[in-house]
Structure 1
């Protein structure tokens, strides 16, 4: 594992996980950029859980950009440094967003993030990424995600119901799964290309909300789930299997049977 401190006066850590295939004929790993950090979550440990858990399930190589605020303080208004460049996603097969910066209001900044996906870079959206950039007066990030959500219910056990068992991403996911101690994000608007995959009942709103889905945004395929507030959810094999399938689906490497395409399953060390 290589760790580099980026030259900024804030906490900025770039980490690369590389898994070397034993079979030289195996396809090169998918290059995945994970962007993480921000308010309210244990991103220090979650980046490890996701990178290691997904690398054990798919032929992927992660580059991780983890930033907080000045002096490492969790800041909802911090601007991830790589997003300042127009070509911030260049060279990656997919971007995994696991960030929480809901206080950013700069429309141009937010639309620059979304544009990389609209132009064709696939995405995985996890948990608070759905609430990120919600203060900005633009819908482009919300269109990219596939839904508008501005709040969530209290932290409690969620009974997740699979509503699309024939979709490749949901093959292998239980008909019902207990997601212990998580937050149910409220669906306020579902954009036109949103495809629901699973739901849970809102005790406060008295209606169902979709918490697993896929979306198409411009030329990009997007997989999303609002689950994952706690590390216990993220490290659960059911959750990691789900996200691995979502990642492979978004990059076109998941078969209709829900299995990785040849060469894109787990790499033997």
Structure 2
């Protein structure tokens, strides 16, 4: 073999080894938050700090309320006005509450980014957002249709998919204090339930944790998380971290982050 060819092959091998030894890049998370009825000022910190302690993530946060900072259900988050609003991010974490937005084109633009392949994490009132718009695309993206919730009370959450990577190692049941149980009115085709809670008002179970597929995207969702007490609970932050990693394809079958996607050591 000629010396030049040997040298080139050696360099190629060295580059390949170097590439495999490069540390994994953080997952770029865009958190969209704000709107009616919740303490988003503190929740954005609870989530960004809590998830960063559990996974290799990097946050960009867009927090808007409404005119003059007032909590407005009709406000349209400005970033969504861009056609390619999700470009550059690995996953979108939705923790927003804008249920009175009626602009169909606006709502379908949000959903389209996920349909085209951007993973999503849907928390609490994101399930009730955009419900006034006469389109099902956001609901298909979520995996369920829900228009109302039961009275705020303690919920007993039951793990019904203990072998799913998101739920492995979680308790068979746990107490979620002072939260809202969202009513499942319709479950769409690719909805996979992971946990449920019993509704005292409706006298039946409702799914509160799930995964979904929407177009090319994987979606993780939970209707839990009304109050800061719930969001600060280790079981909740563990759950959302697992769901985010799963949606991005970075969660092992054992329920642990794939190598390189564990939290960075400080």
Structure 1 length normalisation: TM-score? 0.91
Distance 1:89 1:159 in 2: 35
What is the CA distance between 1:26 and its match in structure 2? 1.9
- Counterpart in the other structure of 1:66: 63
* Structure 1 ranges of 4+ moved more than 4 A: none
- Counterpart in the other structure of 2:146: 149
- Counterpart in the other structure of 1:136: 133
- Counterpart in the other structure of 1:86: 83
- Counterpart in the other structure of 1:247: 244
- Counterpart in the other structure of 1:97: 94
Q: What are the superposed Cα offsets for residues 83-112 of structure 1, whole Å, 9 maximum, x if unpaired?
A: 000100000000000000000000000000
Match of 1:206 among 203, 206, 231: 203
- Counterpart in the other structure of 1:174: 171
Match of 1:35 among 32, 36, 56: 32
For structure 2, the residue ranges without an aligned partner over 5 or more in a row are: 1-20
What is the CA distance between 1:173 and its match in structure 2? 1.5
What is the CA distance between 1:199 and its match in structure 2? 0.3
Note if 1:230 corresponds to 2:227: yes
- Counterpart in the other structure of 1:54: 51
Match of 2:113 among 111, 116, 122: 116
> Pairwise CA RMSD of aligned residues?
0.7
Distance 1:173 1:227 in 2: 15
Query: Could you say which structure has the larger radius of gyration?
Result: 2
Count of equivalent residues: 246
For structure 1, the residue ranges without an aligned partner over 5 or more in a row are: 1-23
Q: What are the superposed Cα offsets for residues 43-99 of structure 1, whole Å, 9 maximum, x if unpaired?
A: 000000000000000000000000000110000000000000010000000000000
**After the TM superposition, which residues 185-200 of structure 1 pair with which residues of structure 2 at under 5 Å, given as runs?**
185-200=182-197
Q: What are the superposed Cα offsets for residues 175-222 of structure 1, whole Å, 9 maximum, x if unpaired?
A: 001000000000000000000000000101111000000000000000
Say which structure is richer in helix: 2
Distance 1:85 1:201 in 2: 40
